[in-house]
Chain A
């Protein structure tokens, strides 16, 4: 079955530690995205990648880093520089890429990160 997987579903870390969230897709999508969702709020874009080995900052990139070494994978690292890292993190992918056309985004199940 095609889809997007994120692991783990729940993650706990101590303040000051970096943590990497996994996102894998087997939909053969060019574009991948990371969003953050806080309680009662909409999704905010952290980083996105339209093609392998290229990625762009979204609206709230500070304190986060990503890599896109393979088409299927787009891991997100939450660094100790992120001031309020506790949130629900969603990864998505779409056919969009660099073609300039609009396609729906498919979302993974999310990772709930708690930093204490």
Chain B
């Protein structure tokens, strides 16, 4: 089976940096996805990591350590619009279905 854990809530200040962690347990590994979801809206794709290391994409970066079953999403120069839930997801053994973590609700304060 698969299990994913994330902190429930985080708070940060506009302009700061925040790191959202995700730990997972899976019998097979086909990569890890991060999605952003604003309240009442659809999740939107942020990043996909399949190899160890850091992937940078503008203000957002995502890190993966397969040996530790650990990933994090790093958000720099926080803006008010970054207030949202951040979902970590791991595909199943066959790669098609995702198991989603509970999501981390980030509040960015002025």
Contact = CB atoms under 8 A, between A and B. Distances in A.
Interface of B is mostly: loop
A17 B94 CA distance: 36
B41 A105 contact: no
Given A48-B96, A104-B45, A107-B43, 14 more contacts: A31-B96, A35-B100, A42-B103, A43-B98, A45-B98, A45-B99, A48-B97, A58-B97, A90-B42, A104-B33, A105-B98, A107-B42, A109-B42, A110-B40
A109 B41 contact: yes
Interface residues of B, number: 26
A28 B45 CA distance: 18
Interface of B: 4, 8, 30-31, 33, 40-45, 48, 50, 87, 91, 94-103, 105
Given A107-B44, A108-B42, A102 B31 contact: yes
Interface in A86-116: 88, 90, 94, 96-97, 100-102, 104-110, 112
Contacts of B98: 43, 45, 105
B107 to A, nearest CB: 14
A100 B96 CA distance: 7
Contact of B94 (A44, A100, A104): A100
B102 A42 contact: yes
Contacts of A88: 40
A94 B96 contact: yes
Interface residues of A, number: 28
A105 B30 CA distance: 14
Interface of A: 31, 33, 35, 40-45, 48, 50, 58, 88, 90, 94, 96-97, 100-102, 104-110, 112
A108 B94 CA distance: 23
Contacts of A109: 41-42
B97 A102 contact: no
A100 B92 CA distance: 10
A100 B95 contact: yes
